[in-house]
Amino acid sequence: MTASAPTSVTPPGPVLSVRDLRRTFGATVAVAGVSFHVDRGEIVGLLGPNGAGKTTTIDMVLGVLAASAGSVRIEGLDVAVHRAAALERTNFAAVYAPLPGNLTVAQNLRVFGLFYGVRGLGARIERLLDELDLRRFRDVRCGVLSSGEQTRVGLAKALLNDPRLLLLDEPTASLDPAAARDVRARIRALARQGTMGVLWTSHNMREVEEVCDRVLFLASGRILLEGNPRTLPGEHGAATLDDLFVAVAHHPLQAEPG
Amino acid sequence: MGPRPRRVGAVVLRQLYLLRGSPARVLPLFAWAAVDIVLWGFITRYLDTLLAPRLGLATLLLSAVLLWDFFTRVMHGVAMAFLEDVWSRNFLNVFASPLMVSEYVLGLVASSVLTSAVGLAVMVALAGAAFGLSMLAWGAALAPFLLVLFLTGIAFGVAAAAVVLRFGPASEWLVWPVPALLSPFAGVFYPVATLPGWMQAVARLLPPSYVFEGMRAVVAGGPVDGALLATGGALAILLVGLAAWLFARTHRHCVRSGLLARYSAETVS
């Protein structure tokens, strides 16, 4: 991976550090003061039922939603203060944020590559087209691609700048099993290189067990559980991660820490 | 950190890609302006048969139409470039990137420079070829007129984008009629002195009214009134500053309130 914007020396500490992050909408508390971190080389699963506060948390990490309190630091840079520098090291893919359908795959990647200050952009685009099996769609408008193909284009955009922090909001939701397996393997391989940390949301608990090094269970805007997805169910008397998810989602108070 | 040309250029590149791939986007750059020139060209030709041709009615009205359409193209050019992101639901991708608000707005302005230049070139060529109006005969005097109108178009375009950002996609309809609402006050086709007092007061705040007063003086054979244009220019620069401030403030509000992250919902309540 040579085509990236953040080429400076890797600073020590976690790639993402979230401290006492809180967000309210009027009387509604969407995120109630969460703290967590993502280390380099680590894939952290952010799990929780619909409305738990996962997307609100991601929006605050991406700087498109201001926090009511608390801070988000990406490689030590406070997103609220050094937004552009922090986001140069970050990228994301989400099913609810497809790239413009009226531009071709290559055009979209070029425009966003320029936004992210990617050096050697042409070569980087061609490489990602091959890696994500998008070569034949290079000059096809994104709007006519299937949802799975659009998801792969979104992933290509998310990897353009070789981010230090990668946010993936249900990245395999629209993919067939083979493509989903490829994506999981690719993201794991990238994380294992040790420079990138990944925050991954998914409702597929088998996928989470396979991919994530650590998971955070979020419900009603709070982190209720945290740990290794392979050992966490046994520690809390559940047979599987699925069972634990259902238990936490339906009875969040019983899982309250402390 | 100041604006980075590569990021500004990316906003323009996106617009060029869209224009290249869509005749439906290219045609409006000059089609309506061309229709205006043809319509008013024949109207003035007819009026010249009724009135004394030496009054220069054709030159006066056609010049006014051409300059006002230029202002409209500039304003709509900024708004169109912005609305492309509204229509393609692209805000999250754009504003979660390192692109700064100043770079985004500069990109919208640069996009409008390109699209309005196409419209202006077609209008000048058509007015000259079909009706003998030679704007180029104005020489260097034309430049300040165009500059004031350009700056005013940028200001209203950026302000319109801020309104759509704040009030959501449905407020798009507010953008298109703005030039039509302004034209009675701007004295496009008649001297500002024709207007009642309260409308004159509004006209004095609008840079185009100084342009059209100056234009009428030039068409009548007089010199360019430098003081008039300087006043219009100063007002236009002030409006550009106010519009940029409004957009930045609106963006900040949308980030704080949650409107940006939930833009299509138009509300976060």
Give yes or no for a contact between A211 and A43, defined as CB atoms under 8 angstroms apart: yes
pLDDT score of B1: 63
CB contact under 8 A, A94 and B92: yes
CA dist B111 → A174, B84, B160, B268 (Å): 35, 12, 16, 31
Q: Which of B20, B82, B89, B93 to mutate to test the interface with A (most CBs of A within 10 A)?
A: B93
Residue B36 Cα distances to A148, B72, B113, angstroms: 47, 12, 21
Q: Which helix (H) or strand (E) holds A205?
A: helix A205-211
pLDDT of residue A60: 97
Question: Do A116 and B17 count as a contact with CB atoms less than 8 A apart?
Answer: no
- Residue A1's pLDDT band, with cuts at 50, 70 and 90, is very low
Which residues have a Cβ under 8 Å from the Cβ of B24 and sit 6 or more positions away?
none
Q: How many helices (H) and strands (E) would you count in chain A?
A: 9, 10
B232 and B211 Cβ atoms separated by less than 8 Å: yes
Choose the closest CB to A66 out of B94, B97, B255: B255
Q: Does A51 touch chain B (CB under 8 A)?
A: no
For residue A93, the chain B residue with the least C-alpha distance is B93
Kindly report, residue by residue over A30-82, the tens digit of the pLDDT: 999 999 999 999 999 999 998 899 999 999 999 999 999 999 999 999 999 99
List Cα–Cα distances, B151 to B31, B158, B226, in angstroms: 23, 11, 17
Give B221's contacts (C-beta < 8 A, 6+ positions apart): none
Q: Which CATH topology does A26-89+164-258 take? A: Rossmann fold (3.40.50)
CA distance A248 to A245: 5
**pLDDT the model gives residue B132:** 82
CB B225 within 8 A of CB B217: yes
What range defines the domain where residue B261 resides?
5-265
Domain count, chain B: 1
Rounded distance between C-alpha atoms, residue B225 and residue B215, angstroms: 9
Please determine, for residue A254, whether its predicted confidence score (pLDDT) is greater than 80. no
Partner-chain residue, chosen from A25, A85, A115, that has the shortest CB–CB distance to B268: A25
Please, where are the H alpha helices in chain B?
A: 5-20, 23-26, 31-50, 57-87, 91-95, 101-131, 142-167, 178-186, 197-203, 207-219, 226-257
Query: Hey, of B11, B12, B14, which one would you mutate to test binding to chain A, going by the most A CBs within 10 A of its CB?
Result: B14
* Residue A107 touches chain B, beta carbons under 8 Å: yes
pLDDT at A253 over 60: no
Task: Name residue A69's beta-bridge partners.
Answer: A22
Q: Among B17, B90, B98, whose Cβ lies nearest the Cβ of A116? A: B98
Question: What are the pLDDT digits (tens) for A204-213?
Answer: 999 999 999 9
pLDDT digits (tens, 9 = 90+) for A138-149: 999 999 999 889
A65 and B255 in contact by Cβ < 8 A?
Answer: yes
Which pLDDT score, from 0 to 100, does residue B180 have?
A: 93
Reply yes or no on whether the pLDDT at A181 is more than 70. yes
**Sheet bearing A214-219, strands edge to edge:** A90-94, A165-169, A197-201, A43-47, A214-219, A222-227
| Helix extents (H) in A1-144 | 54-61, 83-88, 105-115, 121-131
pLDDT one-digit tens code per residue, A103-123:
999 999 999 999 999 999 999
Provide the pLDDT for residue A13.
Answer: 85
Helical spans, DSSP H, in A62-115: 83-88, 105-115
Cβ-contact B144, B217 below 8 angstroms: no
Q: Residue A239 has which token pair?
A: 């047979």
| Residues in chain B with pLDDT values less than 50 | 269
Q: Which helix (H) or strand (E) holds A155?
A: helix A147-159
Contact between B97 and A87 using a beta-carbon 8 Å cutoff: yes
Q: Which amino acid is at A213?
A: D
Neighbouring CB atoms inside 10 A of B238's CB total: 14
- Res A169: pLDDT: 92
Q: Say how many C-beta atoms besides its own lie within 10 A of residue B26's C-beta.
A: 15
Domain ranges of chain A: 26-89+164-258, 100-162
Q: How far apart are CA B96 and CA A65, in angstroms?
A: 10
Token pair 């919208």 is at which residue?
Answer: B108
Q: ipTM for the complex?
A: 0.89
